[in-house]
Structure 1
């Protein structure tokens, strides 16, 4: 069984037992969170798609850790103008372990 959930402005296809990294969520490590924004639920060949959400569907997850992704380097340059700009960014994430999917 799998589900498509929405969090942090993105959509994720999740199954029970998986670990995913999502945009940072304000929650303690070890805390359980229930996502109620479930867009679709599938079980084998059967697929239930919401309009826009599946009524009564929830996904329970456990917060495993918080961290930062690898650095993304930004380099801007204008040729022949003696302009160069270096910049970097590390996006924060929360790692989640998927528990029960209820449809």
Structure 2
């Protein structure tokens, strides 16, 4: 199957700064459509449509905790607004890291 929406450049592990034992798992995507009447009169058929898409990916990385922080600091995100969260076994609260989304 050819996926035209995924750029093969982003599939390269060297672009992300990750090792070969890293896997990227696509999670379900959601899409919500909103239709709003533009006219104050309900009989007019002028409408405007808005769309909200949520795309999520899950990275599985086999590495030590101290190396994980270095690897994720180098991760480049292709999306404009991407939220990166790290989950795993943490020894204390300082081991958990939440990178802000790029604006």
Specify if TM > 0.5. Answer: no
**Is the strand fraction higher in 1 or 2?**
1
Give the number of the structure whose alpha-carbon radius of gyration is greater.
2
